[in-house]
Structure 1
Amino acid sequence: MTDSGRLRVAAIGDLHVKEDAVASYRDLFGEISREADVLVIAGDLTDLGKPREAELLAEDLRACSIPVVAVLGNHDYESDCAEEVARILRQGGMRLLDGQSTEIEGVGFVGVKGFVGGFGRRMLGSFGEPAIKAIVAESVNETIRLENAMRQVRSERALVVLHYAPIPETVAGEPPEIFPFLGSSRLAETIDRFRVSAVVHGHAHRGAYEGRTPGGAPVYNVALHIEKPNGRPYALLEI
């Protein structure tokens, strides 16, 4: 922690660990352990949601000597093995959140994947075909799970960890046609009902680093490909 008692959080998303193990994050995790008190990973931990990919990530995380908090992303569901992926990573020591919260050094970490739906007045509504209603129902369900997790937080400081974006500002740079598939304002509406220190997400590889919810909570797109102020693949936040 800093001299002022703030927790140093390194946040990164979209690692997309592949089965061929060409890229290793071991050195990066070692560096993060020296720079931060907690590592947060904002989804897409694996590339195709394969158990072997999760095993490789768990092996690399042995180089990380600080607590690791994470959520799953859409890629982690690709092979219909999300439960096995989660089990492997939890056995490796990761605090993998899926509608839960955990506290570290006086900071509450709240995690949920989130889902699609679009932003503001253009957000998808529950009208028409059953398939559309199912999409909206899933989006609403994720926000309900986020709200339930927020209600578990007892600390005055809280960091929300998502994969999908809660605001359009941090997906700016992506093709406008895919904005509805990058996140949902329903997440921001829920977040703004609570006291939140910061929000991190990934998913939008070509988005922007920083924005705010309508209620003023700072939001950071920490996808691996996003340029961060410190020039490193991870953002470094003080909470």
Structure 2
Amino acid sequence: ATGDLHAHDGSPRCDALHEALVDAGRAADLVLLAGDLTLHGTARQADLLAGICARFDVPVIAVLGNHDERRDGSGAVAGALRAAGITVLEGNAIELEVGGLRVGLAGAMGAFGGFEGVTIEGISEQRRRAISRRAALQAAALHDGLQAIAGCDVRIALMHYSPTTDTLRGEPRAIWGYLGSELLAEPIRRHRPDAVVHAHAHSGSFRGSIGSVPVYNVSAEVLHGRVGMLELPAAAYSEVE
């Protein structure tokens, strides 16, 4: 799993991660991409990443991030990735047969908005309400997705924004409100998946939890350019250089 790749022409990070992603695709049963896959949200940039993922022999599951909406809209990025055989989850879920197990993934971009004691300052009430509405819609989509995969042997929630402040530690507290929302935690508490995977917090912490559920921040920055390898349901961790 990884995220915040920000793929674009001549990207040092994309070049450095190229072989690591290919190695991960050979070693893993699934590859998870946790959003901000492109720098400016263009189909061209999505094609760069899709070209790497086309070399994988395993399913690739992705959610989009805020950067993926920037220029051409999320539809352009999602379309380019889907054309390459990548599954893009946008508030929905998928079930896969992996090693004799039914693996379910519920995916959504998620949203920012803040946490108890950590709010976004200096915005209008109208803007605050709009942010809250989007976070509530994303949380509801995550709930529906997790409910749909309730019968799976392994259940994973995949998103871009963080559902907990645990994995934001290392980031300036003043920007935590822009990095995730506490509303995303409610469906996690209710459905208790085996793992939550997100990105977006470049200077955050790798691991946190919501109750007994492990939460992993797999931002490429947090992983120092590596790709995280999670073994579920035991949730062992290693890295691919």
Calculate the TM-score normalised by the size of structure 2.
Answer: 0.87
> Number of aligned pairs?
224
Identical aligned residues as a percent: 37
1:159 is displaced (CA, Å) by 0.6
- Structure 2 equivalent of residue 7 of structure 1: none
Matching of residues 48-197 of structure 1 within 5 Å: 48-105=40-97, 106-122=102-118, 129-153=125-149, 154-197=151-194
Confirm or deny: 8 A CA contact 2:7 2:49 kept in the other structure: yes
Confirm or deny: 8 A CA contact 1:123 1:185 kept in the other structure: no
Secondary structure, in 3 states, of the residue corresponding to 2:148?
A: coil
Confirm or deny: 8 A CA contact 1:202 1:222 kept in the other structure: yes
Structure 2, unaligned stretches of length 5 or more? 233-241
1:233 is displaced (CA, Å) by 1.0
- Structure 1, residues 56-77: CA drift from partner, whole Å, max 9, x if none? 1111112222110010001001
- Structure 2 equivalent of residue 225 of structure 1: 221
Letter paired with 1:146? L
Q: Please, what is the CA RMSD of the aligned residues?
A: 2.0
Secondary structure, in 3 states, of the residue corresponding to 1:79?
A: coil
Question: CA separation in 2, counterparts of 1:178 and 1:221?
Answer: 16
Structure 1, unaligned stretches of length 5 or more? 1-10
Name which of 221, 228, 232 aligns with 1:235: 228
- 1:210 and 2:207 aligned: yes
Letter paired with 1:18? H
Confirm or deny: 8 A CA contact 1:51 1:81 kept in the other structure: no
Question: CA separation in 1, counterparts of 2:55 and 2:29?
Answer: 14
- Structure 2 equivalent of residue 16 of structure 1: 6
